[in-house]
Every structure is written in C-alpha cells, then in structure tokens.
C-alpha cells in the first residue's frame, strides 16, 4: 500500500524504494507522529470534518498503534515508506477505511516538519540535563581542587599561575553559554507547521492556534510555504552541537596534554582509559581523543545540512529528508560524550605537586613589573627592566629567582630586598583581585555565582 498509489500503474523499483525510504531513521518519530495525528484528528472534528464518533474511533485506533510502539511490538512492512506511512497503514488495519479520513487537509510535508519539531522540543531538555550534570561535575572539581595552583598558558607557553579551580570554572561558563543557546532554540523550534498542508495551506477551517496550544507550540506559522520549508531550527541545533563539540574538544585536548608523562598534572581513572595491545605500559586517553575527533564530525554535520538546504527553491523538496539523520546523529553523539566526560572528570586524579613544581619563577615576571609599578615606576619602564633581568638570568643559566640583589638594583634602583616575595606563585595568584581574576576569594565568589546559575 502506497499513500500516493492512485495515479501509478507500476510498482516502484525495489532499489528506488530503498533509497526513497526514511524508515530506518525516522521510526524514532513514532511517538510524536501519533501525538500529532491525535491533535490533527481533534482539529478536523473541530472543523466539522469528523463526527464525534469518528474522532473517538480514530483516537482509540491511534492509541492502539502507540501501544504497539511502546511495547516494541510494532511490525514494519516492506511497503512502509516512512514512519507516517507505517502509522497510517497500521491504523487502517485496526479501524478500517475510517483511517483514510485522518489525512484530510494534511500533507506529510507539514506532518514531518511538525514531528521533527516535537522530537526536538522533547530532546532539548534531556541534552540540557546532561550539560547541567557535566557543569555540576566541574563545580565539584572546582570545590575539591581549591588551592591547587596550575601554570596558566597562553600560546602554549607558561604565562601566569592560576588556581586550578579557576580553570575548571572556565569550562563551566563555556557550557553555560551552550545551555543558553539551547534555550534560544526552544523558542525557534516552537512554531507549528501543522495545518499548512503540502505548501499552500489547508482548505478546511482548522483552528491552527488551538492546534498549536494542544501540541505545546507557542504559535502557528503565519506562512504555509515557510512552515513546510523551514529547517532553520535543525541548522541551529547543528550549530549548537558543533560549537558544543568544539568546546568539549578543547577541554579534551587540554586534559590529554595534562595527562602526558611530561606534564603529569592529572591521571585518568582506569574506568575511563584504555590500553595498548602491544605496549604493556600504555594508558591511553582514547575517550578524550574520540571527543576531540567528534567535534570534526559535528562540524561536518552542520556544513552538510547547510549544503543540502542552500539549493532548495520552493517549499518542500525531498532533499529535506536528509535533515533528520544529521540531527539524530549529533544528538546521539553528544548524549554519549557528555555522559562519558562527566564520569571521566569526576574520577580523574590531580597531581597538585607536579602542577606547583612546573611553575617556573619566570611566570612571576609580571608580578615583578607590578612590584616596580607599586613603587611609582611607569609600567612600560618596569616591563623593560624585568625583561632585562630575564635576559641576564637566561644568559647566566640561572632561574630568575636566583639573580643576586645587586644585579636587580643595577637594572633598576627601585628593586629592594623584599623582591623575593614577588616570586611567590601563591602571592601572584592572591594579587589577581579584580572581578573575574584568579585570587582565591574571587574564585570562591565565582563558585557561588556558578552554583546559583546552575540552580
Ligand atoms: N520522509 C519524508 C521526510 O522525511 C516525509 C515527507 C515526505 N513528503 C513528500 N512529499 N514526499 O521528509
């Protein structure tokens, strides 16, 4: 049985049917498809197309189909072209020709766009919950690791010491923006296409505002052409996914580096590491590498969909069927990697001693310049003076902190014997007191803010 068999006298070629079918991926829309159909049946009854009795029979039939999906008892048939066809076919088997009234004034074009949006509106809170969980893990880490000092890098060169907790909270805020973007997507997705038919609108006077309320949408599309062709919400979701993927990749890359023997700042738990089949000593950060690689896939899914969309001239084109595998894949990948990362971060061990020992005295060069600034020296001069000291230390092969006081005073008379204090990484960190800085009391306030934002 084909929904559109009337004008055809020959069956669809087998390979063509296989290529045409979207059932392999759109069967996950079964539940929302049936929900949409129930609402549509009510709208048809409201418009006087179905009697109350017919409506009851349709709703009961749809409930039976839904039960089969819930119990994993639904059996697909070769002729089922997509989930919409499959549901209608089964409905007809349950209630007979009355099933044929359900599609009045509706097209699969407005139907699939509605189903897809319903699916997304249902999926977003799950992904948001997972993001929230990972954020919670980062907050716990920031609390647990409070006090540990980390060499901070720019250009991957040692720059200034920071609190490790400050670093964990950086990741927290990055994810907070991902969550904000996800919430904006809800708004964009929550516009109802149903009742727009194939492209021109429905010729039956269905109340699309009531239909929107019934299905939990904020409003119906005011333009039927736009309703069936708009996939901005899918592209927006994929952009969200790609950017989140990039964030997770950056985090993963840093953890990979920090877990290397040369750094030795962190140790991954066995539960989130893998071994080598050849080298017995190896403990590999495979999961972090996969998260890093995954960002490439997610970027590809976004560019792939944009490329699909860019040539579509009018309303619905079958190209749009390619929207769903991309979005489903992105959602599935992120659901997995967010959960894994949360576990991996919660269980990793830090080596605060290694981090502290890695902080070279040169990392306090800015503090030495600030020391002169506090004595009234203009910052540019101070910068120059400390630069000269760094050059002298490097030429003599000594750490900066081992230069004798005379040398400092030769470089600039404002250097005095209390200069050694400026070499303390702890004091360096303590001095970063402006809002957003890494001073311990600032980080504690930031932590409180993060907790409040997390709710
Ligand atoms: N399986 C199709 C899709 O995913 C459903 C819409 C088909 N519409 C059509 N006119 N052939 O987009």
57 within ligand 1 shell (Cβ under 6 A): no
228 within ligand 1 shell (Cβ under 6 A): no
Confidence class for position 375, pLDDT limits 50, 70, 90: very high
- Which CATH number is 112-198+222-357 given? 1.20.200.10
Ligand 1, atom 3: closest residue by C-alpha: 321
Question: Is 126 in the active site?
Answer: no
Catalytic residue among 51, 260, 269, 276: 276
Alpha carbons 111 and 83: distance in angstroms, whole number: 11
Contact between 248 and 178 (Cβ < 8 Å): no
Q: Which two tokens stand for residue 386?
A: 């400390």
88 within ligand 1 shell (Cβ under 6 A): no
pLDDT of 3 > 80? The answer is: no
Q: What is the pLDDT of residues 211-258, one digit of tens each?
A: 999 999 999 999 999 999 999 999 999 999 999 999 999 999 999 999
166 within ligand 1 shell (Cβ under 6 A): no
Percentage of residues in the chain having pLDDT higher than 70: 100
Task: Single out the residue of 77, 66, 75 nearest to residue 33, CA to CA.
Answer: 66
Cβ neighbours around 10 below 10 Å, total:
5
85 within ligand 1 shell (Cβ under 6 A): no
Report pLDDT for 1: 56
Q: What predicted TM-score, i.e. pTM, was given to this entire model? A: 0.95
Contact between 286 and 274 (Cβ < 8 Å): yes
Task: Single out the residue of 160, 46, 218, 28 nearest to residue 427, CA to CA.
Answer: 160
pLDDT of 312 > 90? The answer is: yes
Ligand 1 pocket: which of 3, 20, 22 to mutate (most atoms within 8 A of CB) = 22
Report pLDDT for 275: 85
Q: Rounded to the nearest whole angstrom, what is the distance from the C-alpha of residue 314 to the centroid of ligand 1?
A: 14
Report pLDDT for 339: 98
Q: Rounded to the nearest whole angstrom, what is the distance from the C-alpha of residue 320 to the centroid of ligand 1?
A: 8
Q: Rounded to the nearest whole angstrom, what is the distance from the C-alpha of residue 84 to the centroid of ligand 1?
A: 9
Q: Options 1.10.275.10, 1.50.10.10, 3.40.1190.20, 1.25.40.10; which CATH number does 5-104 get?
A: 1.10.275.10
pLDDT of 4 > 80? The answer is: no
Q: Rounded to the nearest whole angstrom, what is the distance from the C-alpha of residue 79 to the centroid of ligand 1?
A: 15
Distances in whole angstroms, Cα of residue 251 to Cα of each of 115, 129, 206, 339, 354: 35, 19, 50, 14, 20
pLDDT mean across residues, the chain: 96
Alpha carbons 331 and 343: distance in angstroms, whole number: 19
Q: Rounded to the nearest whole angstrom, what is the distance from the C-alpha of residue 164 to the centroid of ligand 1?
A: 51
86 within ligand 1 shell (Cβ under 6 A): no
Percentage of residues in the chain having pLDDT higher than 90: 93
Q: What is the pLDDT of residues 31-88, one digit of tens each?
A: 999 999 999 999 999 999 999 999 999 999 999 999 999 999 999 998 899 999 999 9
142 within ligand 1 shell (Cβ under 6 A): no
33 within ligand 1 shell (Cβ under 6 A): no
Ligand 1, atom 7: closest residue by C-alpha: 108
pLDDT of 166 > 80? The answer is: yes
Alpha carbons 271 and 430: distance in angstroms, whole number: 36
What residue ranges do the domains of the chain occupy?
A: 5-104, 112-198+222-357, 361-454
Q: What is the pLDDT of residues 104-134, one digit of tens each?
A: 999 999 999 999 999 999 999 999 999 999 9
Per-residue burial over 181-203, b = 16 or more CB atoms within 10 Å of its CB, e = otherwise: ebeebeeebbbbbbbbbebebbe
Q: Rounded to the nearest whole angstrom, what is the distance from the C-alpha of residue 348 to the centroid of ligand 1?
A: 47
26 within ligand 1 shell (Cβ under 6 A): yes
Interior angle at CA 37, CA 35 and CA 40, nearest 5? 115
Report pLDDT for 74: 98
Alpha carbons 236 and 240: distance in angstroms, whole number: 6
Question: Is 252 in the active site?
Answer: no
Q: Rounded to the nearest whole angstrom, what is the distance from the C-alpha of residue 333 to the centroid of ligand 1?
A: 25
Q: Which atom of ligand 1 is nearest to the CA of 324?
A: 4
Ligand 1 pocket: which of 81, 103, 115, 318 to mutate (most atoms within 8 A of CB) = 318
Task: Single out the residue of 394, 383, 385, 395 nearest to residue 361, CA to CA.
Answer: 394
Cβ neighbours around 435 below 10 Å, total:
7
Report pLDDT for 396: 92
Catalytic residue among 9, 72, 155, 417: 155
The fold for domain 361-454 equals: Ribonucleotide Reductase Protein R1; domain 1 (1.10.40)
231 within ligand 1 shell (Cβ under 6 A): no
Confidence class for position 277, pLDDT limits 50, 70, 90: confident
């Amino acid at each position: 049985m084909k929904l559109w068999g009337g004008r055809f006298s020959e069956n669809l070629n087998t390979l063509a049917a296989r290529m045409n079918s979207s059932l392999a991926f759109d069967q996950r829309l079964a539940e929302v498809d049936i929900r949409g159909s129930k609402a549509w049946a009510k709208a048809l009854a409201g418009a006087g197309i179905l009697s109350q009795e017919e409506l009851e029979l349709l709703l009961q039939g749809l409930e039976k189909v839904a039960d089969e999906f819930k119990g994993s008892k639904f059996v697909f048939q070769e002729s089922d072209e997509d989930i919409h066809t499959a549901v209608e076919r089964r409905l007809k088997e349950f209630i007979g020709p009355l099933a044929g009234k359900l599609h009045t004034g509706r097209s699969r074009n407005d139907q699939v766009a509605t189903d897809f949006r319903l699916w997304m509106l249902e999926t977003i809170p799950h992904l948001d919950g997972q993001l929230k969980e990972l954020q919670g893990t980062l907050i716990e880490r920031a609390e647990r690791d409070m006090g540990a000092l980390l060499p901070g890098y720019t250009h991957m060169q040692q720059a200034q010491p920071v609190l490790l907790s400050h670093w964990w909270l950086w990741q927290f805020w990055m994810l907070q923006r991902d969550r904000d973007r996800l919430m904006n997507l809800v708004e964009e997705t929550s516009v109802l296409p149903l009742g727009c038919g194939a492209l021109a609108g429905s010729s039956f006077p269905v109340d699309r505002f009531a239909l929107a309320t019934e299905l939990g949408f904020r409003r119906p599309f005011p333009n039927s052409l736009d309703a069936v062709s708009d996939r901005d919400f899918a592209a927006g979701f994929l952009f969200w996914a790609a950017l989140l993927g990039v964030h997770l990749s950056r985090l993963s890359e840093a953890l990979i580096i920090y877990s290397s023997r040369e750094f030795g700042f962190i140790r991954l738990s066995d539960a989130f590491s893998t071994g080598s089949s050849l080298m017995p000593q190896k403990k590999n950060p495979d999961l972090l590498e996969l998260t890093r690689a995954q960002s490439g896939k997610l970027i590809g899914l976004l560019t792939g969909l944009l490329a699909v969309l860019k040539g579509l001239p009018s309303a619905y084109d079958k190209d749009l069927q390619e929207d769903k595998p991309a979005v489903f894949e992105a959602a599935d990948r992120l659901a997995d990697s967010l959960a894994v990362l949360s576990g991996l971060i919660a269980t990793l061990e830090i080596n605060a001693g290694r981090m502290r020992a890695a902080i070279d005295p040169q990392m306090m060069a800015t503090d030495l310049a600030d020391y002169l600034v506090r004595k009234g020296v203009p910052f540019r001069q101070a910068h120059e003076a400390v630069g000269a000291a760094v050059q002298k230390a490097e030429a003599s092969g000594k750490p900066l902190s081992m230069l004798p006081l005379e040398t400092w005073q030769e470089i600039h008379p404002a250097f005095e014997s209390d200069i050694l204090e400026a070499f303390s990484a702890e004091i360096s960190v303590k001095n970063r007191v402006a809002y957003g800085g890494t001073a311990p009391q600032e980080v504690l306030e930031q932590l409180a803010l993060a907790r409040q934002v997390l709710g």
